[in-house]
Structure 1
Amino acid sequence: MAETTERALRLLGLFETRSVWTGPELVELLGVTTRTLRRDVERLRELGYPVEATPGVGGGYRLGSGGRMPPLLLEEDEVVAVTVALRVGAQGISAIGEPAVRALTKLDQVMPPRLRGEVAALADATALLPGATDDVDTGVLVVLAHAVRDHVRVRFGYTGRSGKVSDRDVEPYRLVATGRRWYLLAWDGRREDWRTFRLDRMSGVRASTLRFRPRPAPDAVEHVRRAVTRAGYAHRVRVRLTADVEAVRRRVPAAYGVATQVRPGVTDLESSADDLASLARHLTMAAFDLGATLEVLEGPGLADAIDDFTTRLAAIRQT
């Protein structure tokens, strides 16, 4: 019995050092047979540790949420209060949004199941005033953050721009928050390409125990920025502004335009929209706020739409 207990403790220790282990790796490290490993895993489950397993090639074992206990514990009411506050911070997509998600990921890993239920109940009963962001389930953020960190595949249903729903099985690489939404950059093996997914269009998000070897990835922020500005809008334009690129990026959020430096003090801006008049208005006002001149490089009808807006604006000022 002492030997069995020692192996169980060693197994727990291994789960603390890495999220997912294959069966052969554990057999070799513990010096046991496959059958003994399965008995030890079952013993841990009987003791209340949620050991998850995926059979077959690429499968493995991992210790699920609630399976780890931190060396220092908060009181139960403190755990609930801190977690709810972090959920609010994550939903706010403010300067603390991304750190809040990282902290939520750690808390979710150590929180007992009973407390997790209390937090969920309190979160369900809490409403936030509408802000600058879409409604994103922080539980989805936590699942994806775990998967990105642990290099495990995730599966989910996804509703495309046309309303068509498809099942996705991807390698997650990075979560990106824009001024309005959360996006996931992932490698879609079925399509053999990088894809950007809006979190509010995902459903049934679940992480597997199937690990993947990370591949060279594009710059996540730049990839999402370009994907967002080019995603199926009726009008795509490119203009040149006599302003520094960082100033343009501060004025035009990433969700609305991709700013590229041409040379110091000159920036090209790519943007998209369904309403050309609205796009002309926003670009004109951005140029005004930046004290910059605006030149249309690409975009049929944009120059006329800008002229129409400025003419109407001048007419209003004269009345």
Structure 2
Amino acid sequence: MAETTRRVLTLLSLLESRPTWSGPDLAERLGVTTRTIRRDVERLRELGYPVHGEQGSEGGYRLGRGRRLPPLVLDDEEAVAVALCLRQGAGGGVAGIEEQALRALTKLDQVLPARLSAEVHAIDDATAALPPAGGPRADVGLLTRLAHATKETVRVRFDYTARDGAVTSRHVEPYRLVTTGRLWYLFCFDLDRDDWRTFRIDRIGDLHVTTFRFQPQPSPDPVEHVRRAFPRAPWPHVTTVRFGAPLAKVRARIPEQYATCTADGDDATIAVCGSDNIDDLARHLALAAFDLGAELTVIDPPEFAARMRTLAGLLVG
């Protein structure tokens, strides 16, 4: 019985990992016969998991949206609470977990009953939150829809607003969502430009997820592509500071999008940082020094050192 339970749970995990599995593929992965797979699928259905089977050369098994939440996982209240927390996390509520929260939210959203999904959206829409200091945030609903499209390998259309305000219509094959810790980007193949492109999620509007499937092709590394496509911006305010903390800790605290960090011995780091607003830059660096428990020294320019002294005086006073 224990072996059967482990196998059924492994089968459920496989069904959650991609849209469709053929019976022979599942049998090969689990080391059993297709007859055993059929029996295990029936066990999942008896437990309330909406496993759908389709005949034909392109058929197989897929985990669909059920009329009720499958038992032995979460009750309704727990499901709503988890979904809301994941939406906050995906939107940057907790630094460093945005991508993981979005993956979990996408998986939960796949099986969340429509009535509970509506409840989650109603609570989320009725909740106001102060915008994070880091700048614009992507809409979590938009992120979830793009994540579904990426997982299901279906094409999407959207309007994109460039930095200069120009709006263009795009038709793409989505491959990956990439986050820098502050901004989200869509890495995709642009069908009209016949080339790989990267788009900031917060500039995407009027998204339409089509039903046209595409066959994934070999692609560049998404993270490297985003890094090259969006190099560090020519910030209007740049300063060089020294943290009394090791390089690894400083890099973990300050996103590389906003600072170039180099080691200054084993226990100190030189960071060249930029921002659109000098007061925001001063506050962020002061907070980073506090989080690191490290001494902060301004190397250049002198006017920024004066700004930091003013901030320190306000904090002391």
Give the structure 1 partner of residue 131 of structure 2: 130
Say if 1:170 and 1:145 are closer, same or farther in 2 by CA, change over 3 A.
same
1:216 aligns with 2:229: no
Give the structure 2 partner of residue 80 of structure 1: 80
- Give the deviation of 1:274 after TM superposition: 6.3
Give the structure 2 partner of residue 165 of structure 1: 167
What is the TM-score of this pair, normalised by structure 1?
0.58
Q: How far apart, in 1, do the equivalents of 2:297 and 2:230 lie?
A: 25
1:111 aligns with 2:112: yes
AA at the equivalent of 1:113: A
- Write the deviation string for residues 110-157 of structure 1: whole angstroms up to 9, x where unpaired: 122222222211111112233345343211111121222233222211
Query: 5+ residue gaps in structure 2?
Result: 1-14, 22-49, 53-58, 313-317
Say if 1:274 and 1:70 are closer, same or farther in 2 by CA, change over 3 A.
closer
Higher relative contact order (CA 8 A, sep 6+): 1
Residues 176 and 222 of structure 2 are in contact (CA less than 8 Å); yes or no, is this contact kept in structure 1? Answer: no
AA at the equivalent of 1:95: G
- Give the deviation of 1:210 after TM superposition: 2.1
Q: How does 1:217-256 map to 2 (within 5 A)?
A: 217-220=220-223, 222-230=224-232, 233=234, 246=248, 249-250=251-252, 252-256=254-258
AA at the equivalent of 1:66: R
Q: How far apart, in 1, do the equivalents of 2:192 and 2:132 lie?
A: 36
AA at the equivalent of 1:178: T
Q: How far apart, in 2, do the equivalents of 1:86 and 1:236 lie?
A: 34
Residues 19 and 151 of structure 2 are in contact (CA less than 8 Å); yes or no, is this contact kept in structure 1? Answer: no
Residues 185 and 224 of structure 1 are in contact (CA less than 8 Å); yes or no, is this contact kept in structure 2? Answer: yes
Residues 170 and 186 of structure 1 are in contact (CA less than 8 Å); yes or no, is this contact kept in structure 2? Answer: yes
Query: 5+ residue gaps in structure 1?
Result: 1-14, 22-48, 52-59, 296-302
Larger radius of gyration: 1
Residues 185 and 226 of structure 2 are in contact (CA less than 8 Å); yes or no, is this contact kept in structure 1? Answer: yes
Give the structure 2 partner of residue 175 of structure 1: 177
- Give the deviation of 1:68 after TM superposition: 8.0
Percent identity among equivalent residues?
43
- Write the deviation string for residues 189-226 of structure 1: whole angstroms up to 9, x where unpaired: 33343332221111122332322323232251x43344
Say if 1:197 and 1:164 are closer, same or farther in 2 by CA, change over 3 A.
same
AA at the equivalent of 2:111: V
Q: How does 1:45-60 map to 2 (within 5 A)?
A: none
Q: How far apart, in 2, do the equivalents of 1:274 and 1:128 lie?
A: 22
Q: Secondary structure at the match of 1:101?
A: helix
Residues 69 and 75 of structure 2 are in contact (CA less than 8 Å); yes or no, is this contact kept in structure 1? Answer: no
AA at the equivalent of 1:203: G
Q: How far apart, in 1, do the equivalents of 2:153 and 2:269 lie?
A: 37
Residues 235 and 274 of structure 1 are in contact (CA less than 8 Å); yes or no, is this contact kept in structure 2? Answer: yes
Q: 1:190 aligns with which of 192, 198, 204?
A: 192
Q: 2:146 aligns with which of 144, 147, 158?
A: 144
RMSD: 4.8
Say if 1:238 and 1:260 are closer, same or farther in 2 by CA, change over 3 A.
farther
Give the structure 1 partner of residue 65 of structure 2: 66
Q: How does 1:19-34 map to 2 (within 5 A)?
A: 19=19
Q: How far apart, in 2, do the equivalents of 1:260 and 1:188 lie?
A: 36
- Write the deviation string for residues 152-195 of structure 1: whole angstroms up to 9, x where unpaired: 22221111111111111222222222232222222223334333
Residues 93 and 179 of structure 1 are in contact (CA less than 8 Å); yes or no, is this contact kept in structure 2? Answer: no
